[in-house]
Amino acid sequence: MKLNVLLLPGDGIGVEVTREAEKVLKHVTSAYGHELAVHQGLLGGIAIHKAGNPFPDETRKLALEADATLMGAVGLPEFDNAPPEKRPERGLLGIRQTLQVYANLRPVRSYKALIDSSPLKNELVDGTDMIIVRELTGGIYYGTPRGISGSGAEERAVNTMTYTRAEIERVSHMAFQLARKRKKKVTSVDKSNVLENSQLWRRVVVEVAGQYSDVALEHILVDNCAMQLVLNPRRFDVVLTENMFGDILSDEGAVLAGSIGMLPSASIGNRRPSGAWTGLYEPVHGSAPDIAGQNKANPLGAIGSVAAMLEYSFGLMEEAAAVNHAMETVLNSGKVTADLKPPGAPAATSEVGDAVCAAIAKAATV
Contacts with Mn ion, residue ranges (CB under 5 A): 247
How many residues at the interface with ligand IPM, by CB under 6 A? 7
Q: How far is the CB of 250 from Mn ion (least distance, A)?
A: 6
Q: Is 169 in the site for ligand IPM (CB under 6 A)?
A: no
Q: Is 190 in the site for ligand IPM (CB under 6 A)?
A: no
237 is catalytic: no
Q: Can you give the three-state secondary structure of 269-292, one letter per residue?
A: EEECCCCCEEEEECCCCCCCHHHC
132 contact partners, CB below 8 Å, separation of at least 6: 104, 105, 106, 107, 108, 239, 241, 246, 249, 250, 253
Q: Is 252 in the site for ligand IPM (CB under 6 A)?
A: no
Binding to ligand IPM (CB under 6 A) within 20-39 occurs at: none
Q: How far is the CB of 66 from ligand IPM (least distance, A)?
A: 19
Q: How far is the CB of 362 from ligand IPM (least distance, A)?
A: 33
Q: Which of 4, 39, 49, 89 binds ligand IPM (CB under 6 A)?
A: 89
By Cβ distance, which residue is nearest to ligand IPM?
A: 89
- H helix or E strand, kind and range, residue 101: none
63 contact partners, CB below 8 Å, separation of at least 6: 6, 8, 41, 69, 95, 98, 99, 280
Cis peptide before 83 (omega within 30 of 0): no
Of residues 86 and 272, the one with the C-beta less far from ligand IPM: 86
- Compute CA 176 distance to the chain's CA centroid, rounded to the nearest angstrom: 19
The rounded distance, in Å, linking the Cα atoms of 104 and 238 is: 12
Residue type, position 280, single letter: L
Of residues 29 and 69, the one with the C-beta less far from ligand IPM: 69
Site string for ligand IPM, 192-231 (x = CB under 6 A): ----------------------------------------
Q: Is 92 in the site for ligand IPM (CB under 6 A)?
A: yes
Catalytic residue among 23, 67, 102, 141: 141
Which of Mn ion, ligand IPM, none lies near 311, with the C-beta cut-off 5 to 8 A by kind?
A: none
Catalytic residue among 32, 142, 184, 251: 251
Annotate 219-246 with b (16+ C-beta within 10 A) or e (fewer).
bbebeebbebbbeebeebbbbbbbbbbb
Of residues 289 and 346, the one with the C-beta less far from Mn ion: 289
11 is catalytic: no
Of residues 247 and 319, the one with the C-beta less far from ligand IPM: 247
Q: What is the dihedral of CA 144, 252, 254, 99, to 10 degrees?
A: -10
Of residues 96 and 296, the one with the C-beta less far from ligand IPM: 96
Site string for ligand IPM, 54-73 (x = CB under 6 A): --------------------
Which of these, 55, 56, 57, 230, lies nearest to 130 by C-alpha position? 230
Q: Which of 9, 12, 54, 75 binds ligand IPM (CB under 6 A)?
A: 75
Which of these, 149, 218, 164, lies nearest to 189 by C-alpha position? 218
Which of these, 325, 264, 258, 263, lies nearest to 124 by C-alpha position? 258
Q: Quick one: the chain helix, strand, coil %, rounded to 5?
A: 50, 20, 30
191 is catalytic: yes
Catalytic residue among 2, 223, 341, 362: 223
Q: Which residues bind ligand IPM (CB under 6 A)?
A: 74-75, 89, 92, 247, 284, 286
Annotated catalytic residues are 141, 191, 223, 247, 251
